């Protein structure tokens, strides 16, 4: 029971002790359900230690289809692993069809992808918002990813309320120009690519979170942990083969890293045949997908 403070007006509870109250100089404590992002540094900077469930998360970047997959893929892949509750990953108006072999190589079950894309969604902002709302209502959906280049604040509030009411993760990708606009999102991040030697790294700026401002950007490794393990194992096998053949190894070979840009390119969206996309089942989302495909 929260402690009580005595004042001239009467007895009041200690506001700081109330579970729903958080101080602006510390991360929020009771944020509801969260899911690990797959990036340890990012988890440490987020209230609850992960992506919020039942909330709108905004990702801002200069060009869609570049950094969002690298950022979200670890969490999405964990969500679709055996033993996790099954569910579709709904992609609303992506700039490109996802590159299924690249996603599968990173542990994502591509059979659960449901892509809603077509002329109607490309030209009608209201249709995109409606598609997101319908996806959030579906019990068989694990997460919704939406690319909304134009959206009004009241439409974002509708999406935030739908995500909260149905306790679904919602990630909305928007252009950098939206940085100065008001948003009901509980979490806003700005994605930037690295420069020079760190061109493969992903830089995150937390524009909004339930906690103190984070002035220092987060730099995520160019190589995900899964990819680092594969590259390390490949280097060890190469060294053992060279040693077994009696060939002398250069002193610096053990530290040589294979280029990663070609591997990470597999995570960037590109076009694939429609047959590689989740066919879906009978429902409003499938009717919209069929309309978009015509």
pLDDT at res. 92: 96
What is the rounded CA–CA span in Å between residue 30 and residue 19? 7
Tens-digit pLDDT profile for residues 103-159 = 888 888 888 899 998 899 999 999 999 999 999 999 889 999 999 999 999 999 999
Residues 210 and 247 in one domain: no
Residue entry with tokens 């039942």: 54
Residues 182 and 66 in one domain: yes
CATH classification at residue 93: 3.40.50.300
Tens-digit pLDDT profile for residues 234-262 = 777 777 777 776 655 454 444 444 443 33
3 found inside a domain: no
Q: Helices 125-137 and 153-166: crossing angle, nearest 10°?
A: 10
Contact 45, 34 (CB under 8 A): no
User: Model confidence at 281, in pLDDT bands (50, 70, 90)?
Assistant: very low
Choose between 22 and 99: higher pLDDT: 99
pLDDT at 282 over 50: no
User: Model confidence at 214, in pLDDT bands (50, 70, 90)?
Assistant: confident
155 found inside a domain: yes
Which are the contacts of 42, defined by CB distance < 8 A and separation ≥ 6?
204, 218, 220
Apex 43 CA angle, 37 and 45, nearest 5: 140
Other Cβ atoms closer than 10 A to 268: 16
Residues 180 and 243 in one domain: no
- 57: which 2 tokens? 């998360």
What is the domain range of residue 94? 32-222+264-293
Q: For 67-118, give the DSSP string.
A: HHHHHHHHHHHHHTSTTSPP-EEEEES-SS---HHHHHHTT--GGGEEEE-S
* Burial (CB count <10 Å: 0-12, 13-18, 19+), residue 222: buried
- Structurally, the chain folds into a number of domains equal to 2
12 found inside a domain: no
Average pLDDT over residues 72-76: 90
pLDDT at 178 over 70: yes
Residues 218 and 229 in one domain: no
């Amino acid at each position: 029971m929260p402690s009580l403070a005595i004042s001239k007006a009467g007895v009041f509870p200690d506001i700081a002790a109330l579970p729903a109250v958080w101080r602006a100089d510390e991360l929020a404590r009771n944020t509801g359900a969260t899911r690990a992002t797959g990036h340890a540094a990012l988890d440490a900077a987020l209230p609850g230690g992960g992506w919020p469930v039942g909330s709108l998360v905004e990702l801002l970047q200069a060009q869609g289809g570049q950094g969002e997959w690298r950022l979200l893929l670890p969490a999405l892949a964990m969500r679709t692993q055996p033993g996790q509750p099954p569910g579709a990953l709904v992609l609303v108006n992506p700039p490109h069809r996802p590159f299924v072999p690249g996603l599968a190589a990173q542990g994502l079950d591509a059979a659960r992808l449901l892509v809603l894309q077509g002329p109607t969604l490309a030209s009608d902002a209201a249709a995109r918002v409606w598609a997101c709302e319908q996806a959030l209502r579906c019990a068989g959906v694990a997460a919704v990813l939406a690319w909304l280049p134009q959206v009004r604040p009241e439409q974002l509030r509708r999406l935030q309320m739908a995500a909260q009411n149905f306790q679904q993760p919602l990630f909305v990708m928007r252009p950098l120009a939206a940085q100065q606009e008001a948003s009901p999102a509980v979490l806003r991040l700005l994605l930037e690519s690295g420069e020079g030697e760190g061109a493969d790294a992903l830089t995150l700026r937390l524009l909004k979170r339930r906690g103190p401002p984070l002035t220092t950007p987060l730099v995520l490794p160019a190589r995900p942990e899964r990819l680092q393990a594969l590259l390390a194992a490949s280097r060890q096998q190469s060294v053992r083969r060279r040693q077994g053949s009696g060939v002398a190894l250069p002193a610096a070979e053990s530290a040589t890293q294979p280029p990663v840009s070609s591997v990470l390119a597999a995570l960037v969206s590109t076009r694939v045949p429609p047959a590689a996309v989740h066919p879906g089942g009978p429902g409003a989302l499938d009717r919209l997908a069929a309309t978009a495909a015509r």
